[in-house]
Chain A
Amino acid sequence: MAFDDLRELYQEVILDHGKHPRNFRHPPEANRQARGDNPMCGDKITVYLTLAPSPSGEDVVADAAFEGRGCAISQASASLMTEMVRGKTVAQVRALFENFHDMCTKDDALHGDHGDVDEDAMDRLQVLSGVRQFPMRVKCATLAWHTLIAAVDGGAKTSTE
């Protein structure tokens, strides 16, 4: 029934993060940032990353934050994302993005192998998998993540189009 899909989409975690987004701030020490726009709906987001070299020499996300406005899905996705990527290497962030993207767009059987991925993080991100039943809303969930990757890549303006 249609309403079950809605419950699946608007789970408590989504509503909570949508209403009270975590890491909704602009850290002055951030050294990477990127802006994302969804021209279809007018949603805008800026992702701020503070990357720091780890003992192994690889860059690690010391802090992740965002500002912007959008629907519950986009705000919750951004909020959860900032929690999930902290402490991860850039390679781990990319792997997480690829897995998340698969989760939002493909049936489970079609998910690719994107390397070393944090299974706990993916478990927590499962709350967003409901968007797969709402093709018009997938971009709401992925905008923050595309913007994250743009920030990792050096910071630029990105768009879901």
Chain B
Amino acid sequence: MTTYALHQAPAPASDRTGFDIAAVRRDFPILRERVHGKPLVYLDSGASAQKPRPVLEAMRHFYEHDYANVHRGVHLLSARATDLFEQARETVRRFINADSADEIVFTRNATESINLVAASWGGTFLRAGDEVVLSAMEHHANIVPWQLLRDHLGIVLRIVPIDDAGTLDMDAYRDLLGPRTRLVAISHMSNVLGTINPAAEIISMAHSRGIPVLLDGCQAITHLPVDVQALDVDFYVFSAHKLYGPTGIGILYGKSRLLSQMPPYQGGGDMIASVSFEKTTYKEPPHRFEAGTPAIAEAIGLAAAIDYVTGLGFDAIGAHEADLLAYATTRLQTVPGLHIVGTSPHKGAIVSFTMDSAHPHDIGTIIDRAGIAVRAGHHCAQPLMERYNVAATCRASFGLYNCRDEVDALVAALMTVQEIFG
């Protein structure tokens, strides 16, 4: 099989944007791993990102020195654990510039965050015939919770179409906002197409009609700075594990005004003010929505991930990833019969593609043997696959640790696919 420059040469000290990519790569222990005897080329950060050492160390340190349950007990470790847990909430607040840490709800992941809003807010405020506006590029996580509500309450889902490039049709969006529209729930950045949607415009158009907006920020949160107050977004959700943090923890940001009107999502310990068999009163948000022992070490890991990302800065990350995206887009187009799916002018560092000669799964299997990890499949976005009339695509999704040599390795491996299937 082809040998790649990557296998002989160390990663460059810095890329063309001045980002110290070699130092960044050293922060991620897994990048030294070999796969089928080849250096790992991890191009699946859109599914889940790898973890830098500070995240791993923060969690280990917590378990070795500070671990206890939170919001319980008077002993020292419980106090330390509670402080660290609530400091993590404050770190998240600062990261997305929420007005108050009380607007930051810890969940399991973005999927649970959306389900929480659908069940609690939707279950309380929506009636049969009310409309929720989604887009054609949504992840299943931002479709199915609303379908459950549709089946339960008889709400109506309206879908904003996209053009062939993968850009949201804003005229159609405007037309879909009507007297029965109660919520807009749209992806901030597409996990398949890479499209970054015009969030501010989406929100201001909805707000001019008094309609709140939920943004699914799973992809956007890793690629661009998010300021929930500047956006004036009503709900914003993301998962830690795509942001170089641990699995098992996600965020629901909600404006205080909205969260305070919402009933609990789950019942249990830690979310109550007082309990008797006759009547239970609930804590104020965010604790009202955090029944049971939370993912404590994971919250601390998330805070470490946020510190890591903000330490590098989104200016540097953004420039580095823009360079990678442009380079990958150019290089991939040299592969015969390769088609990029998603060519919106405003994109993050994700490239989905198909090849005339080979199915995405065959591509995925072949390039895996060259050490290259990409996602092959429907990306939990089957309606979007239907829109493009494909069963599946391959997706290379870049993280801040990827480099141009890895793009070259991908292209070389795709040439091998072309040789086999030609």
A residues with CB within 8 A of B = 1-3, 5-6, 9-10, 15, 40-44, 69-73, 134, 136-137, 140
Contact = CB atoms under 8 A, between A and B. Distances in A.
A42 B391 contact: yes
Nearest to B357: A19
Give the dominant DSSP class at B's interface: mixed
Contacts of A15: 420-421
Interface string B358-385: 1111100110011000001110001001
B362 A73 contact: yes
A42 B376 contact: no
* B contact residues, range: 20 to 34
Contacts of B37: 1-2
A44 B378 CA distance: 13
Contact of A70 (B359, B378, B385, B420): B359
A5 B391 contact: no
Given A40-B377, A71-B361, A6 B420 contact: yes
B391 A70 contact: yes
Contacts of A6: 365-366, 369, 420
27 contacts: A2-B370, A3-B1, A3-B369, A6-B366, A6-B369, A9-B365, A10-B362, A10-B421, A40-B377, A41-B360, A41-B361, A41-B376, A41-B378, A41-B392, A42-B378, A42-B385, A42-B391, A44-B391, A71-B359, A71-B360, A71-B362, A72-B359, A72-B362, A72-B421, A134-B365, A136-B365, A137-B365
B420 A10 contact: yes
A69 B389 CA distance: 12
Contacts of B420: 6, 10, 15
A43 B36 contact: no
Contacts of A41: 360-361, 376-378, 391-392
A54 B361 CA distance: 41
Contacts of A72: 358-359, 362, 421
Given A10-B420, A41-B377, A43-B391, A2 B369 contact: yes
